[in-house]
Amino acid sequence: MSTIALPTVDEEIWRYSRIGELDLDSFKLGKLSTKIDASSAAKQIVSSTTNVVPRDVTDIFEDLNVRHAQLTAISIAKNQVVAEPIVITHSLHESGVVAYSRLVVEADENSEVTIVERFVSSADINSLIVPVVDVRAAQSARVTYIAINELGSATWQIGYQQAVGQRDSMMKLFTVALGGDYARMRAEVRLEGQGANSQQVALYFADENQMHDFRTLQDHAAPRTHSSLLFKGAVKDTAKSVYTGLIRIRENATKSEAFQTNRNLTLSNGAWAESVPNLEIETNDVKCSHASTVGPIDEEQRFYLESRGIQPEIAERLVVLGFFDEVLNRLPVLPFIAGLRERVSTKLLGAKL
């Protein structure tokens, strides 16, 4: 139980969300089945009982997560380089439950690791999953984290990512969201050490009645920090998506650079996407830019391909896959990346099959 009330769409961070539809009391506490694939050496750094780094609780879901989450903690020692990626797969097999996962990644000085976290449920699972991820990159640490939402079309997700980077660290945070009914992720990066670097990259594609919802923060709290964000999404049928993103440059974060790009394709007349970029800059001598677009496939691009004798459905598929390739090509080379592209392609064909 939590003493915090459920949020409402009146709060800016929940604006446009489907939080009003959630009847949290109707869900009982459920359990995720979690599988970890890693080399035997890497497995030694994974535990479920380490001292958890503290985090600020901002709402009821984070509060409940602290109380109930199944913990996975990964600690990478100073100078340790984990060659093979660690792949964590959470599966939800029960309907009518809320399940909490928490992943804590603590990368010590000059260490390196790649972690993939997959969330899987089948189409008939009517449940809620609340994942929380904390990444802590110490000086010069290099952390790559990839979240993949492969949830069924009746499963809800309300997720939180918080990544904090110290001096000269490099954090790459990827999200691929294809599944879920209402699937939300609050993805926050804080650059605390001078020269810290972050990249946030996401691909999301909702069809039928799905809704994807992203709230991002690039928080620069030290000089010469660098952040970039590229979120690309598509909505089809009557699907919806929301992106709101804030770049915050604090007073001491001089000579910092922050870039934010959000592009959305609306592939059907009934589909809807919202994009709201924001800047909050408290100092001069910084370089910031943000760009956001929402719209259908470019008519000139479609015409060009059609003029080569390619029928509209195929032309559209080529353009959308091309649109997403900019994101997929940035992902580390891993066996399942090709499968993701295939899933996007299948989803595009969707109703036509």
Partner 1 sequence: MTTLEIKNLAVAVGGTQILSDVSLTIKSGEVHAVMGPNGAGKSTLSAALMGKPGYVVTSGSVKLDDVDILALPTWQRATAGLHLIMQYPTEIPGVSLQDAMSAALDMRNQDSNHLKKLIETEAKRIGFDPELVMRSVNVDFSGGEKKRSETLQLAVLQPKIAILDELDSGLDIDALRDCAQRVEDATRETNLGVLVITHYSRLFDQLKPDFVHILTNGRIVKSAGPELADELEVTGYVAYTN
Segment near partner 1 (CB under 8 A), from 70-78, 88-96, 250-258, 293-301?
293-301
Nearest to partner 1 of 20, 312 (CB atom): 312
Tokens in use for 90? Answer: 């959470």
Q: Among 18, 89, 306, 336, which residue interacts with partner 1 (rule: CB under 8 A)?
A: 306
If you count them, how many residues does the chain have?
353
Q: Among 314, 338, 349, 351, which residue interacts with partner 1 (rule: CB under 8 A)?
A: 314
Q: Is 307 in the site for partner 1 (CB under 8 A)?
A: yes
Q: Is 46 in the site for partner 1 (CB under 8 A)?
A: no
The residues near 168 (Cβ < 8 Å, ≥ 6 apart) are 139, 140, 193, 194, 195, 196, 197
Q: Is 322 in the site for partner 1 (CB under 8 A)?
A: yes
Q: Is 269 in the site for partner 1 (CB under 8 A)?
A: no
Nearest to partner 1 of 89, 228 (CB atom): 228
In angstroms, what is the minimal distance from the CB of 317 to partner 1?
A: 9
Q: Is 326 in the site for partner 1 (CB under 8 A)?
A: yes
Parallel/antiparallel/unpaired status of strands 211-220 and 240-249: parallel
Nearest to partner 1 of 14, 204 (CB atom): 204
Tokens in use for 12? Answer: 């800016």
Whether 310 contacts 280, CB under 8 Å: no
d(CA 276, CA 82): 37
Question: What residues numbered 65-94 form the site for partner 1, per CB under 8 A?
Answer: none
Nearest to partner 1 of 308, 352 (CB atom): 308
Whether 180 contacts 155, CB under 8 Å: yes
Tokens in use for 275? Answer: 């994009």
97 half-sphere exposure, CB direction, 13 A CA radius: 15
Segment near partner 1 (CB under 8 A), from 111-119, 266-274, 317-325, 333-341?
317-325
d(CA 294, CA 282): 29
d(CA 194, CA 173): 19
Q: Is 312 in the site for partner 1 (CB under 8 A)?
A: yes
Q: Is 315 in the site for partner 1 (CB under 8 A)?
A: yes
d(CA 227, CA 250): 13
d(CA 124, CA 154): 6
Q: Is 36 in the site for partner 1 (CB under 8 A)?
A: no
Segment near partner 1 (CB under 8 A), from 80-88, 247-255, 316-324, 334-342?
316-324
Q: Is 352 in the site for partner 1 (CB under 8 A)?
A: no
Segment near partner 1 (CB under 8 A), from 104-112, 122-130, 142-150, 300-308?
300-308
Q: Is 309 in the site for partner 1 (CB under 8 A)?
A: yes
Q: Is 297 in the site for partner 1 (CB under 8 A)?
A: no
Q: Is 337 in the site for partner 1 (CB under 8 A)?
A: no
Count of residues binding partner 1 (CB under 8 A)? Answer: 24
Q: Which of 102, 235, 234, 121 is nearest to 179 (CA)?
A: 121
d(CA 36, CA 180): 22
Whether 222 contacts 255, CB under 8 Å: no
299 half-sphere exposure, CB direction, 13 A CA radius: 0
Cβ-count burial of 258 within 10 angstroms (0-12 exposed, 13-18 middle, 19+ buried)?
buried
Q: Is 294 in the site for partner 1 (CB under 8 A)?
A: no
In angstroms, what is the minimal distance from the CB of 152 to partner 1?
A: 28
Q: Residues in the site for partner 1, rule: CB under 8 A? A: 298-301, 303-312, 314-315, 318-319, 321-326
